[in-house]
Amino acid sequence: MHHAVKRSVFDRYPRLAEWLNIVELARLPTPVDELPELARTLDAGRLFVKRDDLTADPYGGNKVRKLEFLLGKAYVDGAKAVMTFGAAGSNHALATAIHARRLGMRPIAMLVPQPKEACVRRNLLLHLTAGTELHLYPDKPRLVAGAAWQRTRRRLEDGVELAVIPAGGSSPLGATGYVNAALELADQVAAGLLPCPDRLYVACGTMGTCVGLALGFALAGLNTRVEAVRVTELDMASEARGRQLFAETAEFLHGLDPSVPAPGHLKRRLALRHEFFGEGYGIHLPRDLEAADRFRAVAGVPLEGAYTGKAFAAFMSDAATGRLRGETVLFWDTYDSHDWDAEIGGLDYHSLPEAFHAYFKE
């Protein structure tokens, strides 16, 4: 079987295209912009931004790259519905819902609470446009039990084929979307759009993004060090989980195409940065919002406080020590930047299941 979607990972490993049925959701490659004034004022050598806020319409961000692979499989498997997991304001659950709906599959989001924020309210309201079936569980154990029950119920009562996508889309198949992203960047380096970055800053939630990037750089022979800024609890993001996902993803690709080196032959340049996490997932520190404001003022692109604000704050903090002087740094923007204000204005939270109404009351 031949696949028509052009992706850097398939250019490099054509045999993978025989096995991985992707759906074309993204508009790639995403641009790379240089921010010389910020580099100068913050004391870094050169600063570039990889615009994964622009991966797709109507909804971009990093999850789309994973969903090309994950929803591609669900689609080929004949799934009628797609279940996934996250926090109440999960960008991943929303991206999955919007893109699954475009492919004609019904989205089901299994969610747990998180702090009340404007971003959370926005994402919940946008689920109304995708017609997502939303469930809120008080904690993870009850979510796991709820998911088992929902899957059984659908099998027995509806006979609906259900695809299940893990939280954040961070399986070996999902992380392959970021292996592709790293190879895409390697192509941009080869084309002279930017020098090979010495370091890359990216937010790390369920690790598929940073691990996929580190694996892709190892395959491309780029010596870029990935600074993965942890924004979730240690059960989601840890050194052990990073090692495991790296090995599993390399093993998965090596199994499909033996010309992909086995994990033992690959160098993993990935540093998990714990010191920017703060008090919990989704809790913004003042420096995260300052970093987001600073970036928006110069780049004209919005960041938020839960992921990208923390990642940019990490860059600013490292730059302030002087250690980035003379380095080429890449900030990987993972947050959808479409303006949704017009859509949201016409949506009423009372149309959401009652469990979610508390997010809209002070």
Ligand X SMILES: *Cc1c(COP(=O)(O)O)cnc(C)c1O
Nearer to ligand X by Cβ, of 169 and 263: the residue is 169
Q: Quick one: tokens of 300? A: 């004209």
| 332 touches ligand X (CB under 6 A) | no
Non-local CB neighbours of 300 within 8 Å, separated by 6+ positions: none
| 56 touches ligand X (CB under 6 A) | no
Binding to ligand X (CB under 6 A): which residues in 182-241?
Answer: 203-210
| 30 touches ligand X (CB under 6 A) | no
| 109 touches ligand X (CB under 6 A) | no
| 335 touches ligand X (CB under 6 A) | yes
| 50 touches ligand X (CB under 6 A) | no
Quote the least distance from Cβ 66 to ligand X, whole Å: 7
| 334 touches ligand X (CB under 6 A) | yes
Quote the least distance from Cβ 207 to ligand X, whole Å: 5
Q: How far is the first Cα of the chain from the last one, in angstroms, to the nearest whole number?
A: 55
Give the bridge partners for 46, in sequence order: 328
Quote the least distance from Cβ 16 to ligand X, whole Å: 20
- The reply to whether omega before 29 is within 30° of 0 (cis) is yes
Quote the least distance from Cβ 202 to ligand X, whole Å: 7
| 359 touches ligand X (CB under 6 A) | no
Taking the C-alpha atoms of residue 146 and residue 153, their distance in angstroms, rounded to an integer, is 10
Nearer to ligand X by Cβ, of 137 and 307: the residue is 307
How far is CA 47 from each of CA 30, 211, 330, rounded to the nearest angstrom? 16, 22, 6
- The reply to whether omega before 58 is within 30° of 0 (cis) is yes
Quote the least distance from Cβ 105 to ligand X, whole Å: 20
| 112 touches ligand X (CB under 6 A) | no
| 171 touches ligand X (CB under 6 A) | no
Could you identify the residue written with the tokens 């692979």? 69
Nearer to ligand X by Cβ, of 17 and 305: the residue is 305
Could you identify the residue written with the tokens 């406080």? 305
Quote the least distance from Cβ 219 to ligand X, whole Å: 18
Nearer to ligand X by Cβ, of 113 and 168: the residue is 168
| 282 touches ligand X (CB under 6 A) | no
Among 62, 171, 188, 328, indicate the residue that binds ligand X (CB under 6 A): 62
Quote the least distance from Cβ 206 to ligand X, whole Å: 3
| 87 touches ligand X (CB under 6 A) | no
Nearer to ligand X by Cβ, of 8 and 334: the residue is 334
Among 8, 30, 55, 91, indicate the residue that binds ligand X (CB under 6 A): 91
Taking the C-alpha atoms of residue 281 and residue 232, their distance in angstroms, rounded to an integer, is 5
Given the rule CB under 6 A, which residues bind ligand X? 61-62, 91-92, 168, 170, 203-210, 307-308, 334-335
